[in-house]
Structure 1
């Protein structure tokens, strides 16, 4: 049996050869046997294969003796919310997020929506699938569970409704699931939404919903300009990530959104801890300190950030990859809470998004993440560390290597899944320096890669 759909953090693969209803049913059985779950939330995304895979998964869960609470078509965060809010034993979302349309997958959580990944049960579930199963003496049952009302109430709890006033926002669901939530929120908010690629459609008529790809950004940017909107927001398919465009249609790097959200959140909480990834840090450190908070660095990746947030009781965690985590959302990532907080900030400050962001880009210009295919990533990273580390003010290995000087710093790390090295460079208020150091490091990597 092909089990290549099991990855480090979740399941993803092509349908039907790497993931299909038959395998989904076995995964349901294995999930119950490994976790001991008795009550499990199941939801699924807009992909055409998702309903059949979710049905088979539910059959397997029930055959193993678990009761299934079916929340239907939704986003990944709906499964996180329902699992923790209704105090279930676990939850499974059928989704392949932003993968090609012939793919599907699953994201699994345990009690309190704690992630199940390869280091805490996912590999055991994979191995258990290969063994024979017998039905539980008492079969589980399935029932639909209406979670929308509680979920929408929870989302609205993050913003001060009295501070909101009419603004126009462009929203691009990418034909994923986000449009369904916007339609619900719209009834409670004074905003005017310009909806593009709004209908949920697993055929993805406008391309796979992944706004990190530059070719997928133009439609949002154009609509912002055409409608004179205050902001544009775009989501991936299962809307656990959201991306922002200012009133000029400019795409905003995720790094600056982390700082803005940390600042907005700490203003509400009057302090607290914020978890961030090590790729780009100075802007976040500066804003968190000014807002009376404490910034703590964590290894990149949702399982690491969620665990560190729990350990530190952090109020918010952010990654420059557009994942934003909230303590009161079971430490999980949401693609809805971030834009609500930024909409609130626009209303409260009276500033444009570009003016809020420009000041930060000026203070801490960054290269954005640059990927290079490298034959021997560990060798190249070690050589760069040897060259730059000796003169550095600080060298850290929280994730890859971060090397810091007085006026600039960089992070170099390997991809977990491909022979790619990822570079991020930033400086203190010096765009030419940031650009020069970025070019210098890329040339250095190129030379090392070619054996020079």
Structure 2
């Protein structure tokens, strides 16, 4: 029996050739079908050069199991989520490695109603079936059809805009040569047809699996000035960039300043709570005070979840939450099958800018001052568990609370921090915030890093 190392906590990704190839993906397709027993499943792929061939191998595995396949073509991950729910399909599978290195690829899978599949909800069962590769003969061979899902999807996206009150805007949009390129063009065309006064300044908007401008991952500090500089150059109202499969959305204000995803979570939480008083908002454990404060001010309930899209979605569904957000720029919406979208957030922010007649900078600056954070800081260490324990032992005596929902979080009267280890590399991720004290933020960040890095 082959051991498959490409199965992670809530999706599949691996190095091409060794961890992931057409044969492995074929077996994953057979195993998915054996586990779920679906009748019809949609598939799609991102712009990576291997995505099409892997998608075809996946489709063969599904069809050889008697499953009918709907091929959505070159798309973003959220289009799988939308199509699965909108067309009432039995599941959906996306071929994508998102922001992983160029020699990687992977799969993201959902079941009916776009419910997530994680370690806790079937991913390990699928892995075992794929490893055993003892697949039953189907009663009939499945068939493949092609479908353009974009008209219904674009209509849904634009429903988040109140077009009557929308002010004219200029936006820099950086698709990073990824899957977002075609969707950006379709949104632009639909806006022009409907007379929506939003102008796009498009960057890196040709799909290219060689990623001539680097693999799109705007959370990296070295990539952020590219979009920020363009915002200033074009005197735009806002900048937007996406990762490779555009399930994450990153924003810049009119000055070209990058806005950490944490503060966007608070902004969107407030917007939803104004429209839906008393609703539940889901957040991850890394940075929490701003989100909790926004919820308290607007009669909402903040609920913490483990980090990761499959976990957040499950809590979203169970709590019937109207919105959920992670500081990593994943945003989840009840009206989008409780799934994450990289397109809905910036549309909602455009709506907010018009309604409040304020800039993005004005909307978030006060929150950034109230709960300052240096952003996520990664440290390479020899042994992540030992390094985290060292920090924990140093600071736990002073802590007023300890939380281990995800990694370890220690809270103090005026500051708090969370430490998590990476699932894929010897890296520890630090997130820290204070109650309005930038000097304390810098002091405690330096102190923790000194202990963490030994």
Q: Indicate whether the TM-score tops 0.5.
A: yes
DSSP 3-state at the match of 1:341: helix
Moved more, 215-224 or 118-127: 118-127
Q: Report whether the alignment pairs 1:312 with 2:319.
A: yes
2:119 paired residue number: 118
Aligned residues: 447
1:151 paired residue number: 153
Q: Report whether the alignment pairs 1:88 with 2:95.
A: no
DSSP 3-state at the match of 2:293: helix
Q: How far, CA to CA, are the matches of 2:390 and 2:212 in structure 1?
A: 45
1:383-413 deviation per Cα after TM superposition (whole angstroms, max 9, x unaligned): 4334433332222222222222221111122
Q: How far, CA to CA, are the matches of 1:55 and 1:122 in structure 2?
A: 21
Q: How far, CA to CA, are the matches of 1:112 and 1:368 in structure 2?
A: 34
TM-score scaled by length of structure 2: 0.94
2:272 paired residue number: 265
1:377 shift after superposition: 3.1
1:95-140 deviation per Cα after TM superposition (whole angstroms, max 9, x unaligned): 1111122322111111111122233222222222242445412111
Q: Report whether the alignment pairs 1:247 with 2:254.
A: yes
2:432 paired residue number: 425
**Contact 2:34/2:135 (<8 A) preserved:** no
Cα distance, 1:16–1:376 mapped onto 2, change above 3 Å = closer
Q: How far, CA to CA, are the matches of 2:203 and 2:160 in structure 1?
A: 25
DSSP 3-state at the match of 1:390: helix
1:168-193 deviation per Cα after TM superposition (whole angstroms, max 9, x unaligned): 00000000111211222222232000
Q: Report whether the alignment pairs 1:23 with 2:17.
A: no
2:65 paired residue number: 64
Q: How far, CA to CA, are the matches of 2:383 and 2:134 in structure 1?
A: 41
1:75 shift after superposition: 0.3
1:61 shift after superposition: 0.6
Q: How far, CA to CA, are the matches of 1:409 and 1:134 in structure 2?
A: 53
Gaps of at least 5 residues in structure 2 are none
Q: How far, CA to CA, are the matches of 2:51 and 2:346 in structure 1?
A: 27
Superposed, 1:358-437 pairs within 5 Å as: 358-437=365-444
DSSP 3-state at the match of 2:211: coil
Q: Report whether the alignment pairs 1:55 with 2:62.
A: no
Question: After the TM superposition, which parts of structure 1 deviate over 6 Å for at least 4 consecutive aligned residues?
Answer: none
1:350-392 deviation per Cα after TM superposition (whole angstroms, max 9, x unaligned): 1111122211111111121112223343344334334433332
DSSP 3-state at the match of 1:195: strand
Q: How far, CA to CA, are the matches of 2:54 and 2:336 in structure 1?
A: 27
Q: How far, CA to CA, are the matches of 1:300 and 1:23 in structure 2?
A: 28
**Contact 1:2/1:18 (<8 A) preserved:** no
**Contact 2:390/2:451 (<8 A) preserved:** no
Moved more, 91-100 or 26-35: 26-35
Moved more, 141-150 or 336-345: 141-150
1:254 shift after superposition: 1.1
Q: How far, CA to CA, are the matches of 2:115 and 2:215 in structure 1?
A: 28
Q: Report whether the alignment pairs 1:173 with 2:175.
A: yes
Q: How far, CA to CA, are the matches of 2:412 and 2:123 in structure 1?
A: 40
2:300 paired residue number: 293
Gaps of at least 5 residues in structure 1 are none
1:203 paired residue number: 210
Which of 333, 343, 363 pairs up with 1:336? 343
DSSP 3-state at the match of 2:222: helix
**Contact 1:47/1:95 (<8 A) preserved:** yes
**Contact 2:116/2:314 (<8 A) preserved:** no
**Contact 2:249/2:343 (<8 A) preserved:** yes
**Contact 2:27/2:133 (<8 A) preserved:** no
Q: Report whether the alignment pairs 1:42 with 2:43.
A: yes
2:6 paired residue number: 5
Q: How far, CA to CA, are the matches of 2:5 and 2:353 in structure 1?
A: 45
DSSP 3-state at the match of 1:280: coil
Q: How far, CA to CA, are the matches of 1:380 and 1:16 in structure 2?
A: 33
Q: How far, CA to CA, are the matches of 1:278 and 1:30 in structure 2?
A: 33
Instruction: Quote the RMSD (CA, aligned, Å).
Output: 1.6
Q: How far, CA to CA, are the matches of 2:176 and 2:316 in structure 1?
A: 30
Q: How far, CA to CA, are the matches of 2:8 and 2:417 in structure 1?
A: 29
Q: Report whether the alignment pairs 1:214 with 2:215.
A: no
